[in-house]
Amino acid sequence: MILRIFGMGTVFFLPIFPLGIIGTAVMFILLPIPILEPVGGHYHVGIVHVHSRHSQTMPPLAVYYPTNETPRRKGIQYIPFNDVRFMSGLSSRASVPLYLMRDFLFVRLRATEGAKPIPLINSSGIPLPVIIFSHGLYGYHRLYSALQADLASRGAVVVSVGHCDGSASFMRDSERGGKEFFLRQVDWESPVCEEALAQRVMETRRTLKRLSEKEFWKELGFADLEVEHYLRQSPRVHLSGHSFGGATALVAAMQEEQESKPNENPVQSVMVFDPWHKPLENELFLKPIEEGRNRYTTPTLMVHSDAWVQDRSIWNFFQRITTLLFSQPSISSLSEREKRMRFVTEKTGSTNHYSVSDVVLLSPVIHGCKNSILPPRVQIMEWSNTCLRFIKEHAMYTSRTSAR
C-alpha cells in the first residue's frame, strides 16, 4: 500500500519483498498480536455461525450473544473461518493486493464459539433484546465485531446478516463447498444499488422470520422450554446497520410496518449509522412516504459521522426525510418532544464513515481521525451504550402504550 501511495511499481517492489517479510516479522515481535474484545459489560461473548438457506433467501448469519463462559486467552479467529477472501472486496476497494492483507489472519477476537448462552428470559420475565444488523458495502457480517461484542456483553443478542447480493467483500457459509459470493465489480452509484437493496431487504426480513423458528434458538444453545416460552410472546426485534446496511434497515422496517396488523409490528426500533442515501431516493423509501402510500412510524435513531454531516447532499436528504416523517398524519399530532423522541438524529464529532466498523481498529493510521476526542475503541463502546439506551427507552414506551 505504501509503495502504491508513493507511485512505486512492481519492478521496484520485487527486490525489497524479502525486506517486507522481515519487517512484518519484526513488527509482530515488537507489538502484540491484536485481539479485539468487548469493553465493559457484565458478560462474556459467545458466537455461532448459522448456515444459509439460499432456496428461501435466508443468508448466512453470525450471532453474538451473552454468556458466562470465560473465553480462551487467545480468543478465536477474527477473520471468519480463517478465509482471507473475506478481505478481498476491501482489498479491491483500497487497490491493495490481497496478499498484503494476509496479516489480518493473525488478528483474534475475544469470544467463545458455541458457548452456553445466558437465559433468554430473565427472572423478571423480560427477554433479551434482539438486534438484526446489516453490514455496509464492501463489508461483511463480522466486520463490526467490536460493536457487536460490546452489545452482546451488555446482554443483547446480535444477529449479523451476511448479505449475498454481491455487496459484501466476500460471503460464504462455515463449511466449504457451498455457494460463494464475491464483491460485484459494478458502478454502485447506478440503479444497481436499488436492485441490491431490494435483495438485502428480503434477506433481512427472511432473517426476521427465521427468528420465529424454534430450531434457530436451539442452535444457539438455548433450552427448549425457554425458547417455547419466548416464542409464545411474539418477540420484537430491533434493526440496525451501517451505510448500505443502514438503508437496508430503514426499508425493511417500513415494509414490515406496512404489512403488519396494528400493534403487531415485529420491529420495535431502528438504529442506523451513516445510512446511505443513494438507494433510498426513489421507490424503495422516499417516494412512497412522500406520496402518502407508505407510512414510517417506527422509532428510529440515526447516528451521523462528521463525514456524513459535512456532505451537504447527504445531510440535506436526511433533513428532508425527517421533515416528511414529522408531517405524517399519525405523527403530526404528537408534541414536538414526542416527535423528537421517536425520530432521533445524533451527530458524532471527530468521526468518519468507518468509525463504527473494525476498520478503524485494524488500520487506525489510514482511517483514524486525528482530531478525535475519544479513542476509536471507546467511541464504538459509547455507541453500543447509545443503542441500548434507545432500545430500553422504546421498549418501555411500547409497554406503556400497549397497557393502555
Domains, the chain:
41-403 (3.40.50.1820)
Q: Where does residue 350 rank: exposed (0-12), middle (13-18), buried (19+ CB within 10 A)? A: middle
Q: Which of the following is catalytic: 150, 274, 306, 358?
A: 274
pLDDT for 99? 83
Q: What is the pTM of this model?
A: 0.90
Whether 170 contacts 182, CB under 8 Å:
yes
What are the distances in angstroms from CA 322 to CA 60, 294, 318, 326?
33, 15, 6, 6
Task: Evaluate the CA torsion angle 104, 105, 106, 109 in order and state its sign.
Answer: positive
Q: Tally DSSP H helices, then E strands, for the chain.
A: 16, 14
Give the model confidence (pLDDT) of 192-225 as tens digits.
Answer: 999 999 999 999 999 999 999 999 999 999 999 9
Active-site residue, 306 included: no
DSSP E strand stretches across 162-266: 170-172, 180-182, 237-242
Mean pLDDT of 139-162: 98
pLDDT at 400: 38
pLDDT for res 365: 52
| Grid cell listed for 328 | 405524517
Let me know the angle formed at the C-alpha of 72 by 67 and 73, rounded to the nearest 5 degrees.
Answer: 125
Report which residue type is found at 380. I
Catalytic residue among 163, 238, 242, 353: 353
- Tell me which of 88, 145, 167, 243 is the catalytic residue: 243
* Residues written for the chain: 404
- Scored b (16 or more CB within 10 A) or e, 375-394 reads ebbebbbebbebbbebbeeb
Per-residue pLDDT, 367: 56
Q: Parallel, antiparallel, or unpaired: how do β-strands 76-77 and 108-109 relate?
A: antiparallel
274 flagged as catalytic: yes
For 257-306, the pLDDT digits (tens) are: 999 988 889 999 999 999 999 999 999 999 999 999 999 999 999 999 99
| Residue 260 · residue 296 · CB < 8 Å | no
Question: Rounded mean pLDDT of the chain?
Answer: 89
pLDDT of residue 364: 55
**How far apart (Å, rounded) are the C-alpha atoms in residues 63 and 132?**
9
Active site residue 353: yes
DSSP-assigned letters across all residues of 305-338: EHHHHHSHHHHHHHHHHHHHHHHSHHHHTS-HHH
